[in-house]
Each structure stands twice: as structure tokens, then as C-alpha cells.
Amino acid sequence: MSENQKTEITHDKLQEEAEKLVSLLKDRQVGLFSWHMLLNERLKSIHDLLCPLFGSK
């Protein structure tokens, strides 16, 4: 798999995760622990996708 294909896959996955995050933020339920858990999962997924692109951990 070429570097360009890897980046494209990462961008597709990043867009998918960002859309999930936006959806979660549109339906805010800040009083629910489960909502906070999902928010944390979405943010961690986005962080994990961006780290390799910027060379950080």
C-alpha cells in the first residue's frame, strides 16, 4: 500500500470519526455519564488518527 493510499484511508477514517463527534455534540446530554464516555472515545479516536500524521504520541 502506498503512502498516498494510507493517507487517504486515514483521511476517510478521520472524516468518519469527526462526523460521529459532531453528531454526538449536536445531541448533548452532558448530565449522562455514558454521553461523556462516548465523547471521550470519539476524541481519543480522532487523537489516535492524527498522531501518526503529525509524528507525535
* Local confidence band at 3 (pLDDT 50, 70, 90 cut-offs): low
Torsion of CA 29, 38, 25, 32, to 10 degrees: 10
Measured distance CA(20)–CA(52) in Å, rounded: 20
Per-residue confidence (pLDDT) for residue 21, from 0 to 100: 97
pTM of the predicted protein model: 0.78
Give the pLDDT mean for 1-9.
66
pLDDT in tens, 7-55: 676 889 999 999 999 999 999 998 999 999 999 999 999 998 888 878 7
Sequence spans of domains, the chain: 28-57
Per-residue confidence (pLDDT) for residue 5, from 0 to 100: 61
Q: Are 50 and 14 in contact (CB under 8 A)?
A: yes
